[in-house]
Structure 1
Amino acid sequence: MPAGSATKLHDLRTGVPIWLPDGDRSGLGAMPRESLTADVVIIGGGISGALLADAALNAGRQVVAIDRRGFGLGSTAASTALLQFELDMPLIQLTERVGAERAARAWWRSAAALDVLRGRIADLGLRCGFRERHTAYLPGNILDTAGLKEEAAARSRIGLRSRYVTGDELRDLTGIERRGAIWSAGAAELDPVKLTRGLWRSARERGAVLLSPADVQDISPTQRSVTLTLHGGIEIRAHSAALATGYELPRMLKPRGYRVISTWAMATWPQRRRLWPTHCLIWEAADPYLYLRTTLDHRILIGGEDEDFVDEDSRDALIPRKIETLRRKLGRLLPEVDDRADFAWTGCFGASATSLPAIGPVLGAPRCFAVLGYGGNGTTFSVIAAQMFQRWLLGLSDPDRDIFGLD
């Protein structure tokens, strides 16, 4: 870790994600050469930072964004980009943890976020492979068939677009032999690197200053401004700062219940004729859970086998074994497909006890706003974070701060 870095430094991923077949090339940022002032400074060049920048620009704020690697080259590139309104924790279980009213609002907000993202992609004309999809949620050791029926009924009761399907219907939709599943509308898929880079290009065209590679040495908030000191002594002074650094937590943040998890993923060779007819997103109510989708070039992208992060070397050493496990699971689920891996990678992400993110002003750090998008809904939570950040900048309250707030 660089001496005096304001955020932790980790090797965010290893291997070759399908989204970066030609390596880590961004070219969106410039080396910082002089001190700057801005309305808003954003630390983090991933999807969270990109959406925060978009929101700040829409609010009429001048933006400077900083990333230590390159925009879109961190954890975002390791994402499998299954965009679901469905949270990692089932609605019936979240209801037990936080109450029926708050659980319903969390699920509703997630569903609405996908509509917001769809509209923003259209507004900006971003070419990121966005496609609307259904999801099939299969039984596992978290929810069995009876549990799935109860979960589907709970979702339908609050107006979500989910229903239980029998084994026969599931077979027709996916080719999978299970006793049943939850079938939901309102999901999507895309290329996360193209989305993130497209958002940053749009931000730059609208006047944002992108600095990379640049490492933040110190964050000094006061009641009137926030000053960031970069390595080399360059300062960025802003009215407000947004911390969107993923699981490389700023040292000022000590969230409760936070942990880092490792995940593994692979993409098969193209196989147009062997893919399931609906191209829906598929995942299991299981721990460790499995998730898969198709890509525009007719591959199967599969990931999972999550476990607690120990260190980068331990995570990376597990790649061969984890990829082989993913291959076997894919073969059992869909015996007719080609399960050979053409791309394979591993990465790390944050997780929380409820699968909900932590978003909001940082206690004890005036004018600082943080985004911790836990769990498998990182992109969806980033949309929610951008909405909350924009309202914070404008002095407006957010109706769901009690669910997602850092405090």
Structure 2
Amino acid sequence: MHDAAGHSEAAEDQRQLRSGSSPWRMLQHSLPRTPLLADLRCDVAIVGAGITGSFAAEALARQGLSVVVVDRLMPGRGSTAASTAMLQWEIDRSLTELTELYGLDKAADIYRRSYAATADLCDYIQALGISCLFAKRSSLYLGGGDTGLTQLAREHGLRRQVDLPGDLLDRGTLIERFMMDRPGALLSPGSAEADPLCLSLGLLRIALAQGAVLVEDEVVAYDWSSDSASIGLAGGRTVEARHLVLATGYEMPDFITTDLHRRSSSWCLATVPQQPSALWPERALIWESSHPYLYARTTDDGRIVVGGEDQATENVKEREQLMPDKIAEITSKMRNLWPYASYEIAHAWSAEFGETDDGLPLVGPVPGAARVLAAYGYGGNGITFSYMASRILAARIAGTRRPWFDDFALDRTAP
């Protein structure tokens, strides 16, 4: 039996993944949650009812499996509610960087899979009819810092070489088309935006309609010593399953050990709604090559959502103390990039997030824990990785194995 403690030195810090308020529609949704009056048995138990757990629950319930989803919080109220929901295929590590780590063949394969997964994700959301303010967008990757036009041209050349779409914009073209002054940019199709809370709850609602059960309780123990896996709950009950999926977001149980993972904090703001003329052309998803980088999008009601200033801290009090300065810095940088909008702030928040050294997710069997699978879609395109994780785990549970699954393994060699 293993307890459910995480890596954080302060357990209470771990329980508060975000601070402040995001603009997503918090109060418009409720889902039936079942208090356990007896122990349960099922095919798959999923720990975590955020976006990753919701993707997994829908995919596995659709396969006809009995699914139980457990979370101590209301669904989506953890780190999902703090997401900016930029549904991208581009990875935190550029194709150039990923090629330096793993070689062009593997790097290109990973990028192409991410591109295909984002396209599938967009089709999937639309096919399910989830009302989540989904909109297709291009992404605008801005040069800056050590990344000038030469580096952007190299990245663009690699992408073209492996059949990834996108255009290289020089400074003049960028100013003319987007009214933004940077050394250059890569403009790429195939991304999207959504309300992450609406998306997550919409997926979970569909899973429940397919027979999944949602349990509000805290997991306090894990056990995989028998021919099944089980979780012990704070309420005293046990859920036993043929397979256990960990979709715990940035609260990783301490029996998972990997050299690839680290946790940091990020800060975000959302402006008041504004007129369309105050928003940049095409309303592309914006992210910078500089570190720490800025990332920005718009919303359906005309807000600008912008975040960044990432810092390696997990301490809630420190994160909250840094909030005024971080929000001021983000506002200043965004105003410098796009001075044509109002930066009257309606929402400001901060959150803990996870990232990996190679920018790739952690998906697959947990070493040393039989029948336990992990789904950690970390990074700037975390929602795309969460979608990919649900497909990988559904395939594994169905008995399907693909060599490329190892690219995301928890025990892959750190670069």
TM-score, scaled relative to structure 1: 0.95
Cross-structure match for 2:239? 236
Q: Do residues 165 (structure 1) and 169 (structure 2) align?
A: yes
Match of 1:53 in 2: 57
Match 2:70 to one of 57, 66, 82: 66
Distance 2:284 2:64 in 1: 38
Specify the alignment match of 1:298 in structure 2: 302
Alignment: residue pair count: 403
RMSD between superposed Cα atoms in Å: 1.6
1:10 is matched with which residue? 15
User: CA offsets per residue over residues 234-253 of structure 1, 9 Å max, x none?
Assistant: 01111100001011111220
1:82–1:281 CA contact under 8 A, matched in 2: yes
**Residue of 82, 97, 119 corresponding to 1:78:** 82
- Residues 26 and 73 in structure 1, CA contact (< 8 A), matched pair in contact too: no
CA distance in 1, matches of 2:162, 2:410: 26
Matching residue of 1:122 = 126
How do residues 236-385 of structure 1 correspond to structure 2 at under 5 angstroms?
236-272=239-275, 273-385=277-389
- Is 2:112 aligned against 1:134? no
- State the alpha-carbon separation in 2 of the partners of residues 366 and 134 from structure 1: 41
For 1:43-93, what per-residue CA distance to the aligned partner results, in whole angstroms no more than 9, with x for missing partners? 001111011111211222110000111111110110011111110111111
The counterpart of 2:391, out of the listed 369, 387, 392, is 387
Alignment-mate amino acid for residue 393 of structure 1 = I
1:278-311 residue CA offsets vs partner (Å, 9 max, x unmatched): 1111111010000111100011110010010241
- Tell me how far 1:330 sits from its aligned partner: 1.1
- Kept in 2, the 8 Å contact 1:28–1:71? The answer is no
Tell me if structure 2 keeps the 8 A contact 1:222–1:367. Answer: no
CA 1:302–1:192: 2 relative to 1, 3 Å: same
Contact 1:153-1:163 within 8 A present in 2 as well: no
Q: How far apart are 1:179 and its partner, in Å?
A: 3.0
Q: Secondary structure at the match of 2:281?
A: coil
Which range moved further: 56-65 or 190-199? Answer: 56-65
Picking from 106, 110, 116, the partner of 2:114 is 110
- Preserved CA contact (<8 Å) 1:270 1:297: yes
3-state DSSP of counterpart to 2:169: strand
Instruction: State the shift of 1:31 in Å.
Output: 2.7
What TM-score do the two structures reach when normalised by structure 2?
Answer: 0.94
Are 1:19 and 2:24 an aligned pair? yes
C-alpha contact 2:148 2:184 (8 A) present in aligned 1: no
Amino acid at match of 1:16: S
**For residues 302 and 347 of structure 2, what CA distance do their matches in structure 1 show?**
14
Q: Show the counterpart of 1:44.
A: 48
Quick one: distance in 2 between partners of 1:26 and 1:251? 31
Cα distance, 1:168 vs structure 2:
3.0
CA distance in 1, matches of 2:160, 2:103: 17
Query: Alignment identity in percent?
Result: 39
Runs (5+) with no aligned partner, structure 1: none
Cα separation, 1, equivalents of 2:81 and 2:303:
17
